[in-house]
Structure 1
Amino acid sequence: MNSNKRSTAVDAIRGLSLLGILMANMLIFQYGMFGKDELHFFQPSTLDLISHDMLKVFVEGSFMPIFTFLFGYSMIKMRESLIGKGLKYGRSFFRRSVLLIVLGLLHSIFIWEGDILLFYGGIGLFLVLFVKRKAKTILIWGILLLALMAVFGYGSMEPAAGDAERMENYVKQSIEVYGSGTYSEILNFRSTEEMPIDLPDWLMLLVILIAPLMSAPMFLFGMVAAKRGRFLHPSMEIKLYLRWSLLIPVGLGLKTAGVMLESTNNWSGVLMMLGGPLLALGYLHLFASLYAFSSKQSVVIRAFEAVGRMSLTNYLTQSVVCVLIFYGFGLGMFGKLGVLQGALLAILIYAVLATASLLWLKRFRSGPVERLLRIGTYWSWSGRAKPKAAAPASAVPAAELPAEGPPAT
C-alpha cells in the first residue's frame, strides 16, 4: 500500500468543512466580528435568535476544527511525500508557512477581517516540533492540551467599566460603515477604530502566547490520523468511523448545555470548549462513513472533493463574494438579511462554488491559489517537489544496487 497517495476521502471531508465554515462565517459577514454576538443591536426576530443558537450548537466551533484536523493531517502526508523523494521537509514547511502568513495578512487587510490563514501559517511553524514524534506521543500531547483548553474556558470575564458603552458605540459605527461605507472608509475603520474590548497589555500578551496551545489539539489529532494511515482506504475502516461518529451526541449535548448556560454559569465555556472539538471529530468520521458507503460517481461526493481540492481558492472566493453582498461598496446588505436567510445564502454560494470547482478541475489539476502556493512551497514552476537525482548506476557498488521491483508511485 502507498501511504503517500492522495486521499479523496480527505478532500471530500475538507470540502464539507468549508460549507460549515462559510455558514459560521456568514454571521461575521452579516454582523461583524463583534456584532455577531451582540444581535440585540440589529433588532433580531425570534427566528433570528433561535437560528443563532442553532448555529452555535451545530456549526460554530465544530467545522473549523475539522479543517484544522486536516491541516495537521496534510503536514504529515507532505513530510512523508518529501522524504519518499529523498528531500528535506524543513524548508518546504517554512516557505509554505511564510506564504500563508503573507496571504493571510493581505486577506485580512484588504478583503475581510475574519481571516484564518495568518494563524494557520504561524501555527504551522509551531507544529513542526511534532512531525517527527510518534503517533502515541502526539496523541498524549493532544489530549493534554484539550484538557488545558477546557480549563481555560472555566469562569466568566466581568466586563470592565465602560466596556458595554464602548461595545455599543463600536457596533453602531460598524453598522453604518460596513452597511454604507466606501471601500476606503471600511479599510480605515478596521485599521484605526479602537477595539471595543479593553484588555490589559499583559492579558493580551498571554492570549497571544496561549492561542497556539488552545488550537493545537485538533491539529495534533490530525497528525495522529495521518501517521496511522487513516482515511486512505475508507471501505476498510467503516466500523472505526461509525464508532468515532458516536461522539456526535456527546458533542451536541455539551454544546447545547453550554449555550443554555451561557452568561449564567462558569462551566459554560468548559462545555463549549470540549463540545466543539468532540462534535468535529464525530462529524468528520460520520461523513467518512457516508463517503465509504457512497458511490464515488455521485455528483455530490465529487462536488465535495472538488471544493476540498480547491479549498484555499474557494475560501478566498467566499470572502470576496460575501463582502460584495454585505458591504457598502457592494449590495450593502450588512445586518439586513437575517440569520437563517444568511445560512441559506451560504448553502447557495457553496453550491455555485462547488459547480465551478468541478468545471475547473476538468481542465486543470488544482486551483489557481493552490498552484501558486505549491510553486512557492516547492520553489518549482511545476508546483511539484523534484526528487533528488539518483547517482549513475556505474558509480554505485553492485552490493548497494536495489533489487528490481515495480516503480514507485
Structure 2
Amino acid sequence: MTINNRVNMIDGIRGFSLFGILMANLLIFQYGLFGKDEISLLSLSATDLFAYKLIKIFIEGSFMPIFTFLFGYGMIKMKESLERKELKVKRHFVRRFIFLGAIGLVHSTLLWEGDILLLYGMMGFFLLLFMNRKSKTVLVWGIILLLLTSLFGYGNESGTIEDKAILEQYVKDTFEIYGSGTYNEITYHRNNVDPLNLPDYMYIVLLLLAPIASAPLFLLGMYAAKKQRFTDPAKEQDLYIKYALFFVPIGLLLKSLVYIIPNQSWVGIGSLLGANMLSLGYIYLMALGYKQGTLLFKSFEAVGKLSMTNYLLQTVICTTIFYGYGFGLFGKLGIVNAFFLGIIIYSLQVSLSYLYLKRFRSGPFEKMIRIWTYFTLSGKPRIKASIENKRIA
C-alpha cells in the first residue's frame, strides 16, 4: 500500500470520528456540559429519551477516543518523518503541543466548555515519555492505564443533598443564560460559575491527572503505529474483521448494562471500559470498510484532512444555533431533531471540505500549526543539505 493511500485511510477514520464527536457534542451544545447528564431535569419525550439512550450507547464516549488513538498514531508517524529529515524531534513536538494548548485555551474560554485541544496539548508532553519506548512497553502501559482509569474513573456520584441542589440550580441557570443571554453573560457563566463546589487545589489535581486518565487510547495508537498497523489493508483484512467482531459487540454490551442493570456501580466501571473497547472496534470496522472501497467511508477523507478546522467550525456553527446571541435554541430542539441537524451540518462539512481541498492543500488551522511547528512560512520542514544531496545523488 502506498504512503498516500495509508494516509488517506487514516484521514478517513479521523473524519469518521468527527461525525461521532459532533453527534455526541450536540448533547453539550444543546443542554450544557452538566445538563446532558441530568436527564431527570430535561423533561424529554419518550422518543427523545430513547434516542438519548442510543446516543449514550453507540456514540458518546466512543468517538473521542478514536481521535485520541489517531493522535498517538500520528505522533509516531511524525517522529519517523522528522527522523528521516534529520530534524530535532522533541523540539518540533514541543512547539506543536504549545500551539494546541493555546488554541484550546482560547477555544474553551471564549467559545465553548467542551474543548479537547487544551487536553491534547497537555497530553502531548506526557506522551513524549513513551515516544522512544519499545512497542511492547507502550502496549503494556496502555492496557494497565485502561483498566485503572475504568476502575477508578467511575466515581461515587451520590454526593450530598447540598451538592445535588447546587448542581441542579447550575443546570437551571445554564438553560436560562445560554438560551437567552448575551455573549458576555454566557462567557461569564461558563468561566466563573462553579457547579461542583470544589476547593481550588482540587482543580489543579484534576488538571494534572487529566493526561493520565485519558492516556490509554493515545498509547494504543502509538503502539499501532510502532507495529505498522493500517499500512497494508490487503494483508490486515483478517485482523480488522477479528478485532471488529471482538470489540464492537463487547463494547456495546458493556455500555448497555447501565440501562439494563441500573444503579450498580460495577456497571458504570464496565461502561467506561466498554466505551474504549467500542472505540477500538469502530476503528477496525472503519478500516475494514475502507479496505472494501465503500464510497461512504471515502467521503470522510476530506473532513479528516481538515480535522482541526472542522472541529472548531462545529463549535462556531452549533453555538450560533443554540446560544442566546444566535438563534437561542438551547434546550429547545430535542434529541431526535438535533440528530438530524448533526447530519445536515456534517454533510455540509463534507461538501465544503471537498471543495476547499480542490483549491488548497490544507485548512487554515492546519496551515497555522504547521507554520508554528516548523518555523517556516511555507509550513514545510526545512530540508538539511545532507538530505538534499542524497536526493540529488
Normalising by structure 2, we get a TM-score of: 0.95
Aligned match of 1:178:
178
The CA distance in 1 between the partners of 2:373 and 2:89, in whole Å, is 10
Match of 2:337 among 317, 338, 341: 341
Q: Residues 170-319 of structure 1: matches in 2 within 5 Å?
A: 170-193=170-193, 195-200=194-199, 203-246=202-245, 247-262=247-262, 264-294=263-293, 298=295, 300-319=296-315
Aligned match of 1:397:
none
The CA distance in 2 between the partners of 1:386 and 1:4, in whole Å, is 21
Q: Are residues 407 and 242 of structure 1, via their aligned partners in 2, closer, same or farther at CA, if it must alter by over 3 Å?
A: farther
Deviates more, 1:179-188 or 1:36-45: 36-45
Match of 1:352 among 335, 344, 348: 348
Deviates more, 1:382-391 or 1:113-122: 382-391
User: After superposition, what is the alpha-carbon deviation per residue over 1:22-64, rounded to whole angstroms, capped at 9, x for unaligned?
Assistant: 0000000000011111133232111121111111110011000
The CA distance in 2 between the partners of 1:316 and 1:143, in whole Å, is 31
Q: Secondary structure at the match of 2:122?
A: helix
Quick check: 1:329 aligned with 2:329? no
Deviates more, 1:302-311 or 1:154-163: 154-163
Amino acid at match of 1:213: I
The CA distance in 2 between the partners of 1:331 and 1:2, in whole Å, is 46
User: After superposition, what is the alpha-carbon deviation per residue over 1:305-361, rounded to whole angstroms, capped at 9, x for unaligned?
Assistant: 100000000000000000000001111000000012111211110000110000000
User: After superposition, what is the alpha-carbon deviation per residue over 1:127-154, rounded to whole angstroms, capped at 9, x for unaligned?
Assistant: 0111101111100110111111122045
Q: Where does structure 1 lack aligned partners over 5 or more consecutive residues?
A: 394-401
How many residues are treated as equivalent by the alignment?
Answer: 392
Aligned match of 1:133:
133
Normalising by structure 1, we get a TM-score of: 0.91
Amino acid at match of 1:239: D
Q: Secondary structure at the match of 2:338?
A: helix
The CA distance in 1 between the partners of 2:2 and 2:336, in whole Å, is 44
Instruction: Give the drift of 1:4.
Output: 9.3
Asked if the contact 1:56/1:259 (under 8 Å) is kept, the reply is: no
Quick check: 1:75 aligned with 2:71? no
Asked if the contact 2:76/2:131 (under 8 Å) is kept, the reply is: yes
Quick check: 1:42 aligned with 2:42? yes
Instruction: Give the drift of 1:15.
Output: 0.3
The CA distance in 2 between the partners of 1:323 and 1:302, in whole Å, is 28
Asked if the contact 1:4/1:80 (under 8 Å) is kept, the reply is: no
Quick check: 1:384 aligned with 2:384? no
Amino acid at match of 1:67: F
Q: Secondary structure at the match of 1:130?
A: coil
Instruction: Give the drift of 1:6.
Output: 5.5
The CA distance in 2 between the partners of 1:68 and 1:145, in whole Å, is 14
Deviates more, 1:63-72 or 1:30-39: 30-39
Amino acid at match of 2:238: K
Aligned match of 2:150:
150
Whichever structure has more helix as a proportion of its residues is 2
Instruction: Give the drift of 1:67.
Output: 0.4
Asked if the contact 1:4/1:77 (under 8 Å) is kept, the reply is: no
Asked if the contact 1:178/1:332 (under 8 Å) is kept, the reply is: yes
Give percent identity, aligned residues only: 50
- Measured on the aligned residues, the alpha-carbon RMSD in Å equals 2.0
The CA distance in 2 between the partners of 1:74 and 1:306, in whole Å, is 17
Asked if the contact 1:33/1:113 (under 8 Å) is kept, the reply is: yes
Quick check: 1:33 aligned with 2:33? yes
The CA distance in 2 between the partners of 1:325 and 1:67, in whole Å, is 25
Q: Secondary structure at the match of 2:376?
A: coil
The CA distance in 2 between the partners of 1:208 and 1:372, in whole Å, is 26
User: After superposition, what is the alpha-carbon deviation per residue over 1:47-90, rounded to whole angstroms, capped at 9, x for unaligned?
Assistant: 12111111111001100000000000000000000000011111
The CA distance in 2 between the partners of 1:101 and 1:198, in whole Å, is 26
Amino acid at match of 2:119: F
Specify the structure having the higher radius of gyration (Cα).
1
Q: Are residues 120 and 205 of structure 1, via their aligned partners in 2, closer, same or farther at CA, if it must alter by over 3 Å?
A: same
Aligned match of 1:399:
none
The CA distance in 1 between the partners of 2:63 and 2:170, in whole Å, is 28
The CA distance in 2 between the partners of 1:166 and 1:4, in whole Å, is 53
Amino acid at match of 1:333: L
Instruction: Give the drift of 1:212.
Output: 1.4
Aligned match of 1:53:
53
